[in-house]
Structure 1
Amino acid sequence: MLEYEYQELRFPRGTSRSTARQALTDHAEYGRWELARVRVYLDGSRRVTLRRKIIRQMRTL
């Protein structure tokens, strides 16, 4: 069964699209995060949830 680790990013109302895109690109490229969910609130702020797989080594005898 796959297990995931989650990270949440929040972008305030005044954050430009290009700034948010660059932050998400950096997380994806260097931290191997993938986009799980984006929630846009009425005030214009965004909450982005990122996830990545947890790889566990299986013990062999």
Structure 2
Amino acid sequence: MRILVTNDDGIYSPGLWALAEAASRFGEVFVAAPDTEQSASGHAITLAHPVRAYPHPAPL
């Protein structure tokens, strides 16, 4: 099973990685998160610049 774990608190959030570690017992985990905290940005639209994704080493 593939599992996607995401948040709006940023890639360095300890809770994100705790959840990813717990989920890894049930399948292959992928994490997607902003590079900085973005709370309350759920309804935002990005128009001024492209959205990019970069690989980040997991601290698991």
Q: For this structure pair, what is the TM-score category when the shorter chain's length is used for normalisation? A: 0.3 to 0.5
Structure (1/2) with the larger helix percentage: 1
Structure (1/2) with the larger strand percentage: 1
Bigger RCO of structures 1 and 2 (CA < 8 A, at least 6 apart): 1
TM-score by length of 2: 0.36
TM-score by length of 1: 0.36
